[in-house]
Amino acid sequence: MGIFNTLFGRKQSTPAPAATAPAVPAAPPAPAPLAAIQTMIDSGLISIAAQPRNNALDLSDPSIERLYAFLIFKDKIAPSLDRLAPSAEVIGSVNVVARENGAFVGHNTDGIGFVAGLLNEYPGCVAGQKVVILGAGGTALPISYELAKEKPSEVVIVNRTVAKAQVIADLIAPLTTARAVGEDVLGDELASAGLVVNTSNKGAQPNEKFSAFAAMTGDVDADLAQSMANLARLPKEAIVADILLEDLPLTLKLAREAGNRTHSGQHMNLFQAAPAFKILTGLDKPDLELLDIMRKAIG
């Protein structure tokens, strides 16, 4: 998320009014960090803080051409659009919207960005491997969906509420073998995993003392002991990935100390920016050039 505030050179922290209103250009922005981003600034992209209950934007306003939706808006905005890109239609959430031939089309680049970043660091690491997804929140589905397209042997979604995990398993079942299980059997599933992906908030504030390798009971010492016991069953050649932007959340720290290869959520943040940038600007820059721009923009 932070990458877009950096790239766009604008930030508006005051809430948008509750009444329906068209997007109004903000005050002239500070210079964009790179000239290549200026097209986006010049096109009138602004930041609006709002709540879903507020009708902050009128999509019938012809001046609105594209949107980037964060967090709680990803699920809310999809029903208001004219159509969804194929992956967004399956996932049911949208983070990028562009007007195409007069119709608003929703896209989701979360899973695309995660898989692109993962395969960039570890080429061919998904095919033929058992993938274990930890958590069944909003990002779990797009990531599971895109990973399922990479021909893993199976995808197992582990979650406290098995019913939520089952929804994801059912949606990706046409692509690969998929199962949903509870956290009580996490250790058993890790024992044969080749890739583990934490999509939960374990390891992020205020849960920074908890790892995704065990259920979070609130007892830090007991949960850590269970995490270590479960992690001990994970093959040393397995990769552990996290979507959190922290430099080294506890899940990755424990995995690295155990001798496993790790993959930071910062890669996803970077690699999802390239397809989103193309959709938002209409510029068809080569991916490598875009990634270089993004790296410089976020320092």
Mean pLDDT of 212-240: 97
C-alpha–C-alpha distance, residues 280 and 42, integer Å: 12
65 or 175, higher pLDDT: 175
The residue type found at 237 is: E
Q: Tokens representing 22?
A: 């068209």
* Sequence-ordered list of residues with C-beta below 8 angstroms from that of 218, at least 6 positions apart, any chain: none
Tens-place pLDDT, residues 158-167: 999 999 999 9
Give the pLDDT of residue 164: 97
In this prediction, residue 44 has a pLDDT band, given cuts at 50, 70 and 90, of very low
Mean pLDDT of 278-284: 73
Give the pLDDT of residue 169: 98
Average pLDDT, the chain: 80
Residue 53 has pLDDT above 70, yes or no: no
In this prediction, residue 80 has a pLDDT band, given cuts at 50, 70 and 90, of confident
Give the pLDDT of residue 24: 46
Are 156 and 130 spatial neighbours (Cβ–Cβ below 8 Å)? yes
Length of the chain: 299
Tell me the catalytic residues.
74
User: Which phi and psi (to 5°) does residue 38 adopt?
Assistant: -60, -30
Residue 276 has pLDDT above 70, yes or no: yes
Give the pLDDT of residue 15: 43
Q: Do 63-109+268-297 and 111-267 agree at the fold level?
A: yes
DSSP string covering the chain: -HHHHHHHT----SBPPSS-------SPPPPPSSGGGHHHHHTT----B--TTS----TT-TT--EEE--TTHHHHHGGGSSEE-HHHHHH---SEEEEETTEEEEE--HHHHHHHHHHHHSTT-STT-EEEEE--STTHHHHHHHHHTT--SEEEEE-SSHHHHHHHHHHHTTTS-EEEE-GGGHHHHHTT-SEEEE-SSTTSTT-TT--TTS---S-HHHHHHHHHHHHTTS-TT-EEEE---SSS-HHHHHHHHTT-EEE-HHHHHHHTHHHHHHHHH-----HHHHHHHHHHHT-
Give the pLDDT of residue 286: 57
C-alpha–C-alpha distance, residues 29 and 32, integer Å: 8
Are 176 and 168 spatial neighbours (Cβ–Cβ below 8 Å)? no
Are 265 and 245 spatial neighbours (Cβ–Cβ below 8 Å)? yes
Q: Does domain 111-267 have CATH number 3.20.20.70?
A: no
Quote the CATH superfamily of domain 63-109+268-297.
Leucine Dehydrogenase, chain A, domain 1 (3.40.50.10860)
Give the pLDDT of residue 77: 75
C-alpha–C-alpha distance, residues 64 and 82, integer Å: 14
CA dihedral 281, 141, 271, 265 (to 10 degrees): 140
Give the pLDDT of residue 273: 78
Say whether pTM exceeds 0.85. no
In this prediction, residue 2 has a pLDDT band, given cuts at 50, 70 and 90, of very low
Residue 32 has pLDDT above 70, yes or no: no
287 or 275, higher pLDDT: 275
Q: How much of the chain exceeds pLDDT 90, in percent?
A: 49
Tens-place pLDDT, residues 176-204: 999 999 999 999 999 999 999 999 999 98
* Sequence-ordered list of residues with C-beta below 8 angstroms from that of 50, at least 6 positions apart, any chain: 15, 16, 56, 57
Give the pLDDT of residue 295: 65
Are 132 and 109 spatial neighbours (Cβ–Cβ below 8 Å)? no
User: Which phi and psi (to 5°) does residue 12 adopt?
Assistant: -125, 115
Domain ranges of the chain: 63-109+268-297, 111-267
138 or 1, higher pLDDT: 138
Give the pLDDT of residue 50: 46
